[in-house]
Structure 1
Amino acid sequence: MKIGLTGGIGSGKSTVANFLREAGAAVIDTDAIARQLSGPGGAAMPAIATEFGPAMLTTEGALNRVAMRDLAFSDPSAKQRLEAVLHPLIGAQTLAESAAAEQTGARLIIFDVPLLVESGRWRHRVARVLVVDCTEQTQLDRVAARPGWTLAAAAAVLAAQASRAQRRASADALIYNEGLSLGALKAQVLHLADRWHPAK
C-alpha cells in the first residue's frame, strides 16, 4: 500500500516518518531527495547556478538555502523558478525509489511529502493520506528553536504553506501531535502501520 505522509513545518512529520521506517515501511523522503539534488555535486546544481548565479551557491557548490529562502520571500517568482528546476528531478527520483522498494518486496511505501496538499498531484498516486497536525503556535515554537531559524522566518514559511484546515480536509488518517510523548506518538504510528499492513 502506498501512503502519502504530510504535515506543516514543525508538526513532527519527520519523527512520524522515522517511526514508520522502524515499523518496516519503505520511506521515500522528497525533502531528502531535494537536498541531495541541490547539495555539492547534486544533479540540479548546474541548472540552479545558471538560473540564479553564483551568489546563490555556497563555497562547497551547494544551494545556499538561507539565501534562497530570503530571496523567495522577497521575490515569489524565485520559488517558482527553483521548483521548475527541482520538481522534475524529484519526481523522477521518487518514481525510481518507489519502483526499487516494490522490487524488494516492500508492502508499505510511505511518500514523505511536505507540500503534498499544495501540489495537488499526489491524491491519485497514493491509497491513503496521513496528516500530522498540531497548533500553529506549537509549529512556530518548534521551528524557531531550530538552529538558524527566527520566529519571523518560521511564521513566513507557515504562511506560505497550506492551512491546517486544508491539510486536515485531505486526510484519511490524522495524528494530532500536540502534547504527546514520543512513546504515545509512536504507539499511534504503529497502530496505523498495523492497520494498513497487518503483520499476519
Structure 2
Amino acid sequence: MSTATEVPPKSRPTAPQIASVFLLLGVTAFGGQPALLALLNRELVERRGWLRNEEITEAFTYTKLLPGPVVVQVVAYLGYRLNGVRGVLAAAAMFLLPSVVTMLALGAAYGRIAANQGVTAALGGLTSAVVGIILVATIGQARKAIRDAVGAVVAITVCIAAVIWNVNPALLVLAAGGLGILREARRPRSPEDKAS
C-alpha cells in the first residue's frame, strides 16, 4: 500500500489547498460514488496532478472493504495520501460541510416544502439528471480501468452478480482481487521479471 510520502514534498498540496478543492467537490458531487470518481479524477489528476488515476481507483477499491460510507472514506483516504493527518481533516471536513449545511436547512424547512408539487417535480428531474451523471462517470471510468478482454469479462460478471444475485460488493472486490492474483501468478515471466 502507498503512503502520503509518495507525493513529492514540493508538489504536496497544503491543507488550505486541499480544503478549497474538497469544498468545491462537496458542493458539486451529485450522484454518489461513480460521479465522485469522475470529479476526483478531473480535479486531483487532470487539473492539479496531485495523484494518479490508479491511486483514486485504489482508494475506492480499498474502502469498499470497510464498513460505513464509502464516499467519506475515499475522501479521507485521499486527503491522507495528499498531506497526512492534516489532509484527512481538511478533505473530510470541507467535503462534508456543504451536505451538512444543506441537510440542516432542508430539515428546518421540510414541513413547508414536503407537499409542494413544484419541489416534488424538481426532485424527479434531479433524480433523472443524477442517473445520467452516474452513467457518464461509469462509462468514463470503465474506459480507463478495463484494459483487456479478461478485465471486461470480470467487470460484466461483477455487474451481473451485484445486480441479479445481489452479491455483497466487498465479496465481489475480494473475488476479483483473488482472480487478479491468480492471473498474475500464471503469467509467463520474462527474464527482466525474474531478475527483480
Work out whether the TM-score is over 0.5: no
Q: Name the structure where strand makes up a greater proportion of residues.
A: 1
Q: Name the structure where helix makes up a greater proportion of residues.
A: 2
> Which one has more relative contact order, counting CA pairs under 8 Å at least 6 apart?
1
TM-score by length of 2: 0.29
Mark the structure with the bigger radius of gyration: 2
TM-score by length of 1: 0.29
